[in-house]
Amino acid sequence: MASGVYLFQGNYLVVPESAGGLPDAGVDKGLAGAAFGQLDYREVPSFAGEPGIRGALLGADVVIPPGWRTFSVRQAVAESSGAGRDGVCAGVPASPVLRLYHVLQWREESRFCGSCGSPNGDSPEELARVCPRCGRVEYPRISPAVIVLVTNDRGEALLAHNRKFSKNVYSLVAGFNEAGENLEATAVREIREEVGIEIKDLRFVTSQSWPFPNSLMVGFTARYAGGKLECDGIEITGADWFSAESVRDGVPELPAPGSVSRFIIDAWLAEVRPGEKTDTIGR
Ligand SMILES: [Zn+2]
Q: Is residue 136 part of a domain?
A: yes
Q: What whole-number distance in Å separates Cα of residue 149 and Cα of residue 226?
A: 15
Compute the mean pLDDT over every residue in the chain, rounded to the nearest whole number. 88
pLDDT tens for each residue of 96-149 = 888 899 999 999 999 999 999 999 999 988 899 999 999 999 999 999 999 999
Write down the pLDDT at residue 278: 53
Are 267 and 147 in a shared domain?
yes
Write down the pLDDT at residue 25: 75
Query: Could you count the other beta carbons within 10 Å of the beta carbon of residue 194?
Result: 21
Q: Is residue 283 part of a domain?
A: no
pLDDT tens for each residue of 236-261 = 999 999 999 999 999 999 998 888 99
Q: How confident is the model at residue 88 (pLDDT cuts 50, 70, 90)?
A: very low
Q: Is residue 279 part of a domain?
A: no
Q: What is the three-class DSSP state of 221?
A: strand
Residue 30 phi, psi (nearest 5) = -65, -40
Are 149 and 137 in a shared domain?
no
DSSP state of 105: H
Ligand 1 centroid – CA 134 distance (Å): 4
Ligand 1 centroid – CA 177 distance (Å): 28
What is the extent of the structural domain holding 124?
Answer: 111-141
Q: What whole-number distance in Å separates Cα of residue 54 and Cα of residue 42?
A: 6
Query: Higher model confidence: residue 62 or residue 88?
Result: 62
Are 42 and 133 in a shared domain?
no
Ligand 1 centroid – CA 138 distance (Å): 10
Ligand 1 centroid – CA 109 distance (Å): 15
Are 125 and 196 in a shared domain?
no
Ligand 1 centroid – CA 142 distance (Å): 21
Ligand 1 centroid – CA 198 distance (Å): 45
Burial label for 277, CB within 10 Å (0-12, 13-18, 19+), is middle
pLDDT (average), residues 216-237: 95
Q: How confident is the model at residue 281 (pLDDT cuts 50, 70, 90)?
A: low
CA distances to 19, 20, 35, 64, 247 from 68, rounded to whole Å, are 9, 10, 9, 6, 38
List the Cα angle 99/104/105 in 5-degree steps.
Answer: 100
Query: Higher model confidence: residue 87 or residue 71?
Result: 71
Q: What whole-number distance in Å separates Cα of residue 64 and Cα of residue 43?
A: 23
Q: Is residue 278 part of a domain?
A: no
Ligand 1 centroid – CA 131 distance (Å): 5
Q: Quickly list DSSP for 33-82.
A: HHHH-S---EEE--SSSS--EEEEEPPTTPPPPTTEEEEEHHHHHHHHTT
Q: How confident is the model at residue 283 (pLDDT cuts 50, 70, 90)?
A: very low
Ligand 1 centroid – CA 233 distance (Å): 43
Are 99 and 118 in a shared domain?
no
Q: State yes or no: cis peptide before 124, omega within 30 of 0.
A: no
Is the pLDDT score of 8 beyond 70? Answer: yes
CA distances to 7, 157, 220, 226 from 229, rounded to whole Å, are 44, 12, 19, 9
Are 153 and 182 in a shared domain?
yes
Are 71 and 92 in a shared domain?
yes
Distance of CA 208 to the CA centre of its chain: 6
Ligand 1 centroid – CA 100 distance (Å): 25
Ligand 1 centroid – CA 145 distance (Å): 29
Are 85 and 147 in a shared domain?
no
Contact 39, 107 (CB under 8 A): no
